[in-house]
Copies of this chain bind each other. A is one copy, B any other.
Amino acid sequence: MEPTTLNKRAVVLLSGGLDSTTVLAIAQSQGYECHALSFDYGQRHQVELQAAARIAEACQVASHRVMQMNMNAIGGSALTDNNIDVPTGGVEENTIPVTYVPARNTIFLSYALGLAEVIDADTIFIGVNAVDYSGYPDCRPEYIEAFEKMANLATKKGVEGHKIHIETPLISMTKAEIIQTGASLGVDYGLTVSCYQANDKGEACGVCDSCRLRKQGFSDAGVADPTQYYSA
């Protein structure tokens, strides 16, 4: 079979955070028509989804979809509870459990695969990173390669030779490199939300693990941090 030229349509997983927003900018800079996909799975930081919507609009993506699912049906206590308000009264370091969804990247990529099939996109972009999150097995290159192989056996598209590619442009970047890349592409990081306990306005606590990583990233990158904090 002749190798098929990739089309320039892509599904981009967009959480509304710093990493996925940078990925979107990278994909667009490479000439992809980008279809953003976000997930409402009961995560505590719902403001991320609002950020995703703002970013999708600011970047003029071709489309933006939000998948809703009751992940708490399988996650149990490891998941954040959608019915508990996000605390805004102050900082409680290390007492807010990080939203952990088992097999999360696999589930997200599976939906992206379904969407790629529906809209005939040959490429899926995901902002996984093996540097900062090296403890997560589903952020490693060998996992991504295995998913890609499976994806091409799973779909009509893949079987017919329109190979699906999973692109992970951030996979070996440090946080500072991610920020430098995004900044050079004109990303407005003020739109993004990374904080695990952001308030209703999307302002960040500045002290949770995610905030610390992000703050350090801006500092290391030598890029001004546009994040609005509600406490220092």
A contacts, CB < 8 Å to B:
37, 65-71, 73-76, 78, 101-107, 109-111, 113-115, 117-118, 137-138, 140, 142-143, 146-147, 149-151, 153-156, 158-159
Q: Are B65 and A74 in contact (CB under 8 A)?
A: yes
Q: Are B155 and A138 in contact (CB under 8 A)?
A: yes
Choice from B68, B110, B143 contacting A70 with Cβ under 8 Å? B68
> What are 27 of the A-B contact pairs (CB < 8 Å)?
A37-B74, A65-B73, A67-B69, A68-B70, A69-B70, A74-B114, A74-B115, A74-B118, A78-B118, A102-B113, A102-B117, A102-B118, A103-B111, A103-B114, A105-B154, A106-B113, A106-B151, A106-B154, A107-B110, A110-B110, A137-B153, A137-B154, A137-B158, A138-B155, A140-B153, A146-B150, A147-B150
Shortest Cβ distance from A198 into chain B, in angstroms?
24
A140 to B147, CA, bound (A): 16
What is the copy number of this chain in the assembly? 2
For A38, give the chain B residue with the smallest CB separation: B73
Q: Are A107 and B103 in contact (CB under 8 A)?
A: no
Interface of A is mostly: helix
A47 to B17, CA, bound (A): 40
A154 to B156, CA, bound (A): 23
* Nearest 9 pairs of A and B residues by beta carbon: A103-B114, A146-B150, A102-B114, A69-B69, A102-B117, A143-B153, A110-B110, A103-B113, A107-B110
CB-CB under 8 A from A103, the residues of chain B are 110-111, 113-114, 117, 154-155
A22 to B70, CA, bound (A): 27
